[in-house]
Structure 1
Amino acid sequence: MFTGLSAFPLTPVTTSGVDEKGFSHILSRLTEALVDSMGILGSTGSYAYLTREQRKRVATLAKRHAGDIPVMVCVGSVSTDAILHLADDAQAAGANALLLPAVSYQSLRDEEVFSLFETVTRHVSVPVCIYDNPGTTHFTFTDELHGRLSSLEGVRSVKIPGVPDSSAAATERVEALRRHLRPGVTIGISGDAYAGLGLNAGCEVWYSVCGGLFPEMAKQITEAAAVKDHQRVTALTARLEPLWALFRKHGGSLRVIAAAAGVLGLTNTDCLPRPLQPLSADDIADIARVISKLELK
């Protein structure tokens, strides 16, 4: 399941809790597009803001809607015990894989992160994807640590945060990481603005936030990558520069995707867990114009 398009949907949250109806609308777009897998409760899925029971419910809903599409569930938390409980919940919900970040209040050491992954992979019966996201976890994986973690039998993929801005440098980055990994462990690009560079550099999967809301567009890119049509991959991702610009303007993808889901009528425009606040009316109007200009649907 660690190839192609892994779509990461928004988890819409209102004052009364998870907007299950809105979440179901979003998931329906993914099933209709036949994405290769779903990444549930990632950063855009607001895992860090939800209770254990809410996360279990979201995983259950996702699996119920997914049909034959594999579902990966993030089990990130600050303590190993909490992670193991979340892993149990995700597996009970039917998760096909787990996404594990290195999250902690105190700074983590490499040995502590290795011990965490060793403990989790021994505990669970489904494969694990390493969630390398220093922008939110404030832990930076080295290639050497990725290599050690890939020696664990349960580790099957690495979700990297981005690649350098040139094709040559991006290829060098992906190849350098791959030299450390056990054969068969895939590399997945995230940071959607880098998707084209990463896929053309040899990443086997796109862990995609915008694919969680606009799966048809994202699938065009991964399908082009699958046949090594580098020119088409570049053209399709470059066309989306207005969307990437919105991500940069608003400090990441979450607030933009939440507003876009509201613009599309899938959920409320204000669908972020507090203390996160929705964008202004003017910013939402800008997002609506970009959606219209790019014919995103």
Structure 2
Amino acid sequence: MFTGLSAFPITPFKQETIDYKAFQGLVDNLASANVDSICAIGSTGLYPYLTRGEKYNVAKLAVDHANGIPVMAGVGSLRTFDVLKNVEAVQQAGVNAVLLAPVSYQVLNEEEVFGLYEAVSREVSVPICIYENPRVTNFTFSDDLYRRLGQLPNIGAIKIPGFPFGKSATDGSTSNGVHRLASLREVMPAHIAIGVSGDSFGAAGMSEGCDLWLSVIGGIFPQTVMRLIEAAQSGNAVDAQAQSQALSGIWNMFARNGGGLRVVAAAAEILGYCETPSLPAPFLPIVNKEYAELEQIIEQLSLS
């Protein structure tokens, strides 16, 4: 399941409760597009903000409406005890994989992070996707830690930050992303997939050899991202990058709003999947000017 597009839909809210009907509509859209996998309750799906029961309900709804497409679910929490309980809940819902970041309030060290994944790998019966997101967790995985994690059972993929991709190395020969992938391939077993995140880097990451793109925008515009991936994997990196550059207005909006969550929530509202506001407090919608700009981009580029 760790190939192509892994689409991350939002978990829409209505009056501070999950809008399950709206979520079903988003999953139906992804199933119709025949994405490679769906990540319910990823970061875009607000996994840290949901109760265990809500995680189960969202995961079960995704599985029931995915039309056989593999479903992954986020299980991160501050305590290993709670992570394991989340794993139990989403596995009961029937997911095919779990996404796990080293969530913390106090900054974790390498032994603590290794211990987290070791504990989960012993208990889980589906593959784990390791999620490296230093901007959120304040933790960066070393190659030595990746080497150790790669020896654990049930590790299926890693989700790495996208910023090295598309940037030239200091010697001007190949991109930093190519070097980063090469170093990871050296330390990780061949069966573990390497995925790119950070949507503005997705096209470059796929062109430079990543196995999958774990995509925020793919959760609302799957066909747009799938066309990018097709160009990237067919050896047409120039076309893929041109398609990505056409989306620069959205990438800039992501940067101005601290990531893609608020922007794709607005897109879901614009497309009629959910009502405004679709995120729980304390989140606020994007400003009216950006909302109008996003409407214009969606219409002009015929995003789907």
TM > 0.5 fold call: yes
In 1, Cα distance between equivalents of 2:124 and 2:228: 33
Could you list the per-position Cα deviations for residues 42-61 of structure 1 after superposition, in whole angstroms to 9, with x for gaps in the alignment? 11101111111111110011
Q: Does the 8 Å contact 2:16/2:281 carry over to 1?
A: no
Q: Secondary structure at the match of 1:272?
A: coil
Counterpart of 1:155, as a letter, is: I
RMSD between aligned residues? 1.2
1:46/1:273 contact within 8 Å kept: no
1:190 counterpart residue number:
197
User: Contact 1:75/1:98 (CA < 8 Å) preserved in 2?
Assistant: yes
Residue 256 of structure 1 aligns to which amino acid in structure 2? V
Cα distance between partner residues in 2 of 1:283 and 1:120: 41
Aligned to 1:94: 94
Question: Using the alignment, how far apart are the partners of 1:259 and 1:230 within structure 2?
Answer: 30
Per-residue deviation, residues 96-144 of structure 1 (Å, max 9, x unmatched): 0010100112111101111111110110110100011111222211122
Show structure 1 runs of 5+ residues with no match.
none
User: Which residue number corresponds to residue 75 of structure 2?
Assistant: 75
Asked if the contact 2:72–2:95 (Cα under 8 Å) also holds between the matched residues in 1, the reply is yes
Task: Kindly state the Cα deviation for residue 202 of structure 1 after the two structures are TM-superposed.
Answer: 0.8
State how far apart, in whole Å, the 1-side matches of 2:285 and 2:161 are: 24
Aligned partners of 1:145 and 1:293: how far apart in 2?
Answer: 45
Deviates more, 1:276-285 or 1:42-51: 276-285
Structure-2 residue corresponding to 1:120: 120
Give the whole-Å Cα distance in 2 for the aligned partners of 1:94 and 1:223: 29
User: 1:10–1:212: 8 Å Cα contact kept in structure 2?
Assistant: yes
Which stretch of structure 1 is more off in the superposition, 146-155 or 33-42? 146-155
Q: Percent identity?
A: 44
Report the equivalent of 2:50.
50
User: Which residue is equivalent to 2:233?
Assistant: 226
**Can you list the C-alpha shifts for 1:15-38, whole angstroms capped at 9, x where unaligned?**
241011111111111000000000
Q: Which runs of 4+ in 1 moved over 3 A?
A: none
Measured in 2, the distance between the counterparts of 1:132 and 1:179 equals 18
Task: Give the match for residue 172 of structure 1.
Answer: 179
1:282 and 1:241 map into 2 onto residues whose CA distance is 17
Distance (whole Å) between structure 1 residues aligned to residue 138 and residue 195 of structure 2:
19
Letter in 2 for 1:202: G
Spell out the pairing of 1:1-297 with structure 2 (5 A cutoff). Answer: 1-164=1-164, 165-166=166-167, 168-297=175-304
AA aligned to 2:81 is D
Q: Is the 8 A contact 2:204 2:232 kept in 1?
A: no
Q: Matched residue of 1:179: which SS? A: helix
> Which sections of structure 2, spanning at least 5 residues, go unmatched?
169-174
Tell me, in whole angstroms, the C-alpha distance in 1 between the residues paired with 2:103 and 2:257.
Answer: 23
Give the Cα–Cα distance (whole angstroms) in 1 for the partners of residues 276 and 289 of structure 2: 13
Deviations 1:60-109 (A, max 9, x none): 11001112100011100001111111101111000000101001121111
Give, in whole Å, the separation in 2 of the partners of 1:208 and 1:233. 15
